[in-house]
Amino acid sequence: MKSFPPERIRNVALVGHGGAGKTTLAEALLFHAGLISRQGRVEDGSTTTDFDPEEIKRCISLAVALAPLEHDGHKINLLDCPGYADFLPEVEAALSVADLAVFVVSAVEGVEVQTEVLWKLAADLGLPRMVFVNKLDRERASFERTLDQLRSTFGAGIAPLELPIGTEHEFHGIADLLTDTAITYDTGKAVTGAIPDEMESLEHQVHDNLVEGIVVGDDDLTERYLEGEAISMRELEDALAAGVAAGQVFPVVCGSATKGVAIDRLAQFICEIGPSPLRRGPATAEGGETLHEIPCDPSGQPLAYVWKTLADPYVGRVSLFKVLSGTIRPDTVLTNPRTHGDEKLHALFTLRGKEHVALSEVPAGDIAAVAKLANTTTGDTLAPRGTPVRIPPAPAPTPLLSVAIRPKSKGDEDKLMTALHRLQDEDRSLLVRRDDETHQTLLSGMGETHLAIVTERLQRKYGVAVETEDVLVAYRETITTPAEAEGKYKKQTGGHGQFGVAFIRVEPLSRGAGFEFVDQIVGGAIPRQFIPAVEKGIAETMARGGVYGYPVVDAKVTLFDGKYHAVDSSEMSFKMAGSLGFHDAMAKAGPVLLEPVSLLEVTVPAAQQGDVMGDLNARRGRVQGTEPGNDGEQVVVAMVPTSEIQRYAIDLRSLTGGRGRFRAEHDHYDVLPQHLYDKVAKKPQSE
């Protein structure tokens, strides 16, 4: 595939709610460009960008797929993004390298939740946006209703450039509001003609509104327009392109991806009014404590940003990167400022779905791929040797849901961890850790579907079948009153026996104080060399579990007397004496269970604040307060028992229709209500 200068490159992310038709639209654009012989269907798994077995099985996109095409002397790097909430980090990665976000909205369902979420994300990034209203050939499709929703949701910047000709199954073309012409597709090819009589009046009215909306951003054009002067098509397109690049105008076009109606128009609009990498301005890089602006110059120093990593079954690790400056050619050697190691970029290629297309060079602004980089991961920068600049990586996503996993075959523990680490290379939103207290391997991700797909891939790609179970809550025990006990260990065998007696007193400490051991032995009641053994026995018993089987915390233990035998006493006998003494004292000291409590911050639309607060109260949560967020949202802050929010990612999504989000972190331990003891207590391991 030949290279294109930056002004001829368009990096476009197709985003929107799941089911709006993004993958079908990508397929239609590839078909229109002549890159595929027939247009595949999501339903039968024949599309270019949904090629993963899990995607084919579920008929949804699970990861960003790259699909470059050429149109009218331009290269368009399509980034087909998932629409399901669990895979939001994939969309964030695509938007970090896109120069235009095309929001695909179904004319049947209208503006849906993920469209709103992603619009806000794109706005926060300052990313230019346009809208493609899809599925106008479907039953119950309505362009007018969808346009009203777009305006009410996203504001006055929404600017329709086209009107549909025909409704539902009779939809067969569009009216171009800029040129006052109709383009129909009855024969499968675009035919230009006059606006139909029945919609001529409406079209002229909307045309005038559109021209007014475009020229208002340019004082010179506005003055000429008000004086009655006709504004040329070239001037209107230039003004529209400037408004799009500035994030002030959001063009709306329409069509049908399945019938191929107006797909050519979308490609043309992307080329004409979509911003190039040059128009998006320089990238910002860190160099020590200084920020540097990196212009998109093909003749500059080479600089690339790795935005995604894939595991290819044939070539191994594949790194997708965007060139921010310079021109990168095969066998270029660059340095990773994070690791300070050199990386040789051997064969360069681009991806069209899973197909590798070789590249002879990659200029600034373009997106490409390279295989087998040694120590470079997602978020890394590749720069010339001796140029310590890096693009600040986006923070890793915070996982929202966890499950405990274990291999079905006992000998697969090492194989499982190796496979999980490889999956983590591909997916930054995946977190794997070992909980030493509960002895569980915890797999954390963005939701139920995300984790289900990870477990499927473990078996398909790496041959590791796993079982999942609930995450155990790390309860604790403590005491509420002082108590004393005698720990006596006496064992007589042939030869030397075992003898040790330790008198101990236990007292409660303040929450979070931990464990305190006090030695009050006087007069040699216990030889000095055996006292550490008593402390060790007590500490090990506390860690193993108290009356209810959980580790004991916040206790002061005083060793105040004891007995020993000159021959039979040993470190082991006093270790056992300390253990037995603490066990008996614990039972007398008013033991209680402690549960972990999390600090929870829930961000929701103001209209759903009451529902969320009521739900938190039902989870034994204590609302600490509320504060206003952005865009009319409210942030609810609460202390909630950790056991009550194990599946909160799923429950909050259901409660708020996907509009809520949360952040949780451990805050403290608190006494568990007595009526829940039977549910969580277990037999002490010492039994």
Model pLDDT for residues 464-475, shown as the tens digit of each residue? 999 999 999 999
Whole-model pTM: value is 0.89
Question: For 217-221, 395-399, 456-460, 478-482, which range has the lowest pLDDT when averaged over its residues?
Answer: 217-221
CA 289 to CA 281: how far, in whole Å? 22
79 neighbors 13 (Cβ within 8 angstroms): yes
Give me the domains of the chain, ranges plus CATH numbers: 6-273 (3.40.50.300), 283-382 (2.40.30.10), 401-469 (3.30.70.870), 477-590 (3.30.230.10), 593-678 (3.30.70.240)
Which tokens belong to 201?
A: 């009046």
Among residues 313, 595, 557, 635, the alpha carbon closest in space to that of 476 is found at 595
307 neighbors 322 (Cβ within 8 angstroms): yes
Which tokens belong to 578?
A: 């300390």
Q: What is the pLDDT of residue 314?
A: 80
Whether residue 413 is predicted with pLDDT greater than 60 in this model: the reply is: yes
**pLDDT band with cut points at 50, 70 and 90 for residue 188:** confident
Among residues 231, 242, 238, the alpha carbon closest in space to that of 208 is found at 231
Cα 683 to Cα 478, 546, 612, 680: the distances in Å are 16, 9, 36, 10
Q: What is the pLDDT of residue 492?
A: 77
Question: Strand, helix or coil at 557?
Answer: strand
Q: What is the pLDDT of residue 687?
A: 34
Provide the β-strand partners of residue 635. 603, 627
Q: What is the pLDDT of residue 304?
A: 97
Q: What is the pLDDT of residue 410?
A: 84
Question: Strand, helix or coil at 25?
Answer: helix
Percent of the chain with pLDDT over 70: 99
579 neighbors 541 (Cβ within 8 angstroms): yes
Q: Give the pLDDT mean for 437-442.
A: 90
Sign of CA dihedral 74, 80, 85, 90: negative
Q: What are the pLDDT digits (tens) for 545-584?
A: 899 989 999 999 999 999 999 888 999 999 999 999 999 9
Percent of the chain with pLDDT over 90: 80
In this structure, the chain runs to a length of: 687
Whether residue 494 is predicted with pLDDT greater than 70 in this model: the reply is: no
Whether residue 412 is predicted with pLDDT greater than 50 in this model: the reply is: yes
341 neighbors 383 (Cβ within 8 angstroms): no
Which tokens belong to 466?
A: 């796993």
27 neighbors 257 (Cβ within 8 angstroms): yes
The pLDDT mean for the chain works out to 93
Q: What are the pLDDT digits (tens) for 296-332?
A: 999 999 999 999 999 887 888 999 999 999 999 999 9
According to DSSP, residue 2 is labeled: -
CA 557 to CA 579: how far, in whole Å? 12
Q: What is the pLDDT of residue 442?
A: 95
**pLDDT band with cut points at 50, 70 and 90 for residue 684:** very low
DSSP letters, 140-187, are T--HHHHHHHHHHHH-TTEEE-EEEES-GGG--EEEETTTTEEEE-TT
Q: What is the pLDDT of residue 223?
A: 85
φ, ψ dihedrals at 51, nearest 5°: -115, -10
Q: What are the pLDDT digits (tens) for 229-265?
A: 888 888 888 999 999 999 999 999 999 999 999 999 9
Which tokens belong to 580?
A: 């037995």
Among residues 416, 407, 402, the alpha carbon closest in space to that of 445 is found at 402
Q: Give the pLDDT mean for 387-404.
A: 89
Whether residue 683 is predicted with pLDDT greater than 60 in this model: the reply is: no
Q: What is the pLDDT of residue 213?
A: 82
Q: Please work out, in degrees rounded to the nearest 5, the angle formed at the alpha carbon of residue 289 by the alpha carbons of 287 and 292.
A: 45
Q: What is the pLDDT of residue 495?
A: 67
Q: What is the pLDDT of residue 622?
A: 96
Q: What is the pLDDT of residue 287?
A: 84
Whether residue 660 is predicted with pLDDT greater than 90 in this model: the reply is: yes
Q: What is the pLDDT of residue 686?
A: 38
Q: What are the pLDDT digits (tens) for 359-370?
A: 999 999 999 999
Q: Give the pLDDT mean for 216-221.
A: 80
Q: What are the pLDDT digits (tens) for 591-622?
A: 999 999 999 999 999 999 999 999 999 999 99
